[in-house]
Amino acid sequence: MSNLTVDDLRGDAGRQRTEKVVHVVLWLAGIFSVLISAAIVLSLFREAWTFVSQVDWSTVIGPDAEGWFPRRGQYGVMTLIVGSLVVTVIAMVIAVPTGLATAIYLSEYAPPKVRRVLKPAIEVLAGIPSVVIGFFALTFIAPEIIQNVWSASPQQTLMAAGVGVGVMIIPIVASISEDAMASVPNALREASYGMGARKITTVVRVVLPAAVSGLIAALIIAVSRAMGETMVVFIAAGSAGGSLFNTNPLEPGLTMTAAMASLAAGTDAVVGEGLTFQSLFFVGLVLFTITMTLNLIADRFVRRVRQKY
């Protein structure tokens, strides 16, 4: 009979101490992200609350709110939201067909050698900083393309910005859509081919419908990114000082993001009368709410994809 006691199986105290310390440190790291979210919300709320409680709401919403001229006390936020929407719609028109087609091709058609070249190339496009796209939109897209088609338009337009943002989000649409299609089990494709379906039939009638949750998630995330994009619009759409309510894409315009950048840019950061400073935070809060809602909805769809398979 051996003399084994509980004490023998207790383990080395030193190792256990390390383990505990590590656990705490890692836990702190994990919690840190919650801290960041709290900090974002706090930063926005503090000054936005001042704005919300002190502003004359007729300058923000309603028939008298003519536009966004914050330094003059005009806080027509719908101007900015509509501006963001116009840019987003144009961007989606460019990015969705291109991105989706790219994803379908890479996922279902491309031979491995071709894929090895094309996929990194799309990733390169994803890595291009937004300032670069903004400058490209201003100096190339606007003169060469937009002014060629619509000769009367100025150089800085929502259209130019929209095309630029569209180019920026092609890789996002492509990447998320491709993931969605890759998660469709091959067994479904085999079932379709086994019944004598052609490739296009299999892709259109089996793979795409099966991947639809992921494709919707891709769209929503793309919309969210398009709305949150700042530099392309800031450089290519003009209207730094302010803008009247405008839905014409062939005019300069302001989005929520560019308005915020305009308020902050300038030699003395944010300066102006009345609530100019706070208006920056107000718009930020609106933008944050919109993008977070979109992201949460998209998350639901991504979750649905994972559940299915």
CB of 55 to another protein, least distance (A): 18
Q: How many CB atoms lie within 10 A of CB 205?
A: 12
Q: Is there binding between residue 37 and another protein (CB under 8 A)?
A: yes
| 265 near another protein (CB under 8 A) | yes
User: Rounded to 5 degrees, what are φ and ψ at 264?
Assistant: -85, -25
Candidate residues 54, 64, 198, 273; the one interacting with another protein per rule CB under 8 A: 198
Residues 6+ apart with CB under 8 A from 282: 47, 48, 51, 52, 55, 75, 77
In the complex with another protein, the residue whose CB is nearer, 6 or 29, is 29
Q: Applying CB under 8 A, which of residues 205, 271, 273, 306 lies at the interface with another protein?
A: 205
Report 135-194 residues binding another protein (CB under 8 A). 135-136, 138-140, 167, 170, 174, 185, 187-188, 190-194
Is there binding between residue 63 and another protein (CB under 8 A)?
no
Helices 13-54 and 276-308: angle between axes, nearest 10 degrees: 130
Listing from the earlier edge strand, what are the strands of the sheet with 74-75?
74-75, 67-69, 243-244
Contact 192, 206 (CB under 8 A): yes
88 binds another protein (CB under 8 A): no
Instruction: Choose between 29 and 56: whose C-beta lies nearer to another protein.
Output: 29
Among 134, 214, 249, 253, binds another protein (CB under 8 A): 134
Find the binder of another protein among 29, 53, 113, 148 (CB under 8 A): 29
Closest to another protein by CB, 54 or 201: 201
* Closer residue to another protein (CB): 58 or 157: 157
Site stretch for another protein (CB under 8 A), options 54-62, 67-75, 243-251, 265-273: 265-273
The two structure tokens encoding residue 18: 């390390």
Asked if 199 touches another protein (CB under 8 A), the answer is yes
Q: Binding-site residue total for another protein (CB under 8 A)?
A: 107
Binding to another protein in span 111-130, by CB under 8 A: 112, 118, 120-125, 127-130
User: Which position among 4, 13, 36, 152 is part of the footprint of another protein (CB under 8 A)?
Assistant: 36
Record the tokens describing residue 178, joined without a space: 């491709």
d(CA 192, CA 223): 33
Q: Is 50 in the site for another protein (CB under 8 A)?
A: no
Q: Which positions from 95 to 114 touch another protein by CB under 8 A, shown as an x/- string?
A: --xxx-xx-xxx--x--x--
Cα separation, 40 vs 32, whole angstroms: 13
Residue 68 CB, nearest approach to another protein (Å): 16
- Residue where the block lists tokens 């090895």: 116
Say if CB 99 and CB 169 are below 8 A apart: yes
Rank residues 82 and 203 by Cβ distance to another protein and give the closer one: 203
Task: Determine, following the binding rule CB under 8 A, whether residue 228 of this chain makes contact with another protein.
Answer: yes
Among 80, 87, 231, 254, which residue interacts with another protein (rule: CB under 8 A)? 231
